[in-house]
């Protein structure tokens, strides 16, 4: 496993941060079926989704509903860049006029996404997870390949990127 630490100013568009953009380019190729359930304005993945209808994505679904659209072991590459805290989840839902429920403000919200990601990712498929922690998908079905720590300096939280590959022969 490779671990890299770099310094970069924070940016709300995670994928525009140069070391992160470079890391994505290392693993993503045009021939892959790639998806992004929290795309915001990003068009890096082939199929994009964001709850906010103001963003130019292919779908405007709740992330779990978007992930459930895909067949088992059908996706090559997943960018998983959800809101980093349950407070941010709540703000996102309120920002688009959606009801904030107990389900959307508990850790089970994230766990449900990760279960779907494991289900839809092909064997040897890659998932990149972004956040303030290094949990990634974190299961025996996944091999941790690389970690990138982007330190933003000052009082800014770091962005931690984990790159995991689904192990051949493991089912969800």
* 29/1 Cα distance (integer angstroms): 21
What pLDDT is recorded for position 47? Answer: 98
Q: What is the DSSP letter of 59?
A: B
Any idea where the domains of the chain sit in the sequence?
A: 2-166
* 95/117 Cα distance (integer angstroms): 25
pLDDT per position as a tens digit, 152-172: 877 778 889 999 999 976 554
pLDDT per position as a tens digit, 26-84: 999 999 999 999 998 899 999 999 988 888 999 999 899 999 999 999 999 999 988 76
pLDDT per position as a tens digit, 98-124: 666 656 555 666 788 999 999 999 999
Arithmetic mean of pLDDT, 19-23: 94
- Going by C-alpha positions, the residue among 57, 68, 81, 73 that lies closest to residue 136 is 81
Return the sign of the alpha-carbon dihedral for residues 70, 20, 2, 85: negative
* 91/89 Cα distance (integer angstroms): 5
Fold of 2-166: Rossmann fold (3.40.50)
Question: At 92, is the pLDDT very low, low, confident or very high (cuts 50, 70, 90)?
Answer: low
- Going by C-alpha positions, the residue among 159, 79, 88, 93 that lies closest to residue 127 is 79
Q: How many CA atoms lie within 13 A of 20 on its CB side?
A: 28
- The model's pTM is 0.85
Residue 4 has pLDDT above 90, yes or no: no
Tokens of 140: 């025996």
């Amino acid at each position: 496993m490779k671990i890299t630490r770099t310094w970069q100013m924070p940016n709300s568009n995670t994928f525009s941060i140069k070391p992160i953009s470079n890391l994505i380019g290392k693993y993503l190729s045009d021939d892959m079926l790639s998806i992004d359930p929290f795309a915001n304005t990003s068009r890096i993945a082939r199929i994009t989704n964001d709850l906010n209808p103001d963003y130019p994505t292919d779908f405007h679904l709740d992330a779990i509903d978007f992930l459930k659209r895909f067949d088992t072991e059908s996706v090559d590459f997943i960018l998983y860049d959800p809101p980093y805290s349950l407070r941010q989840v709540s703000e996102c839902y309120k920002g688009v006029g959606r009801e904030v429920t107990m389900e959307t403000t508990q850790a089970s919200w994230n766990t449900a996404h990760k279960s779907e990601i494991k289900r839809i990712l092909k064997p040897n498929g890659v998932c990149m997870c972004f956040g303030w922690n290094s949990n990634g998908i974190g299961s025996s079905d996944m091999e941790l390949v690389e970690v990138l720590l982007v330190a933003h300096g000052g009082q800014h939280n770091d962005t931690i990127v984990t790159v995991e590959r689904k192990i051949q022969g493991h089912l969800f």
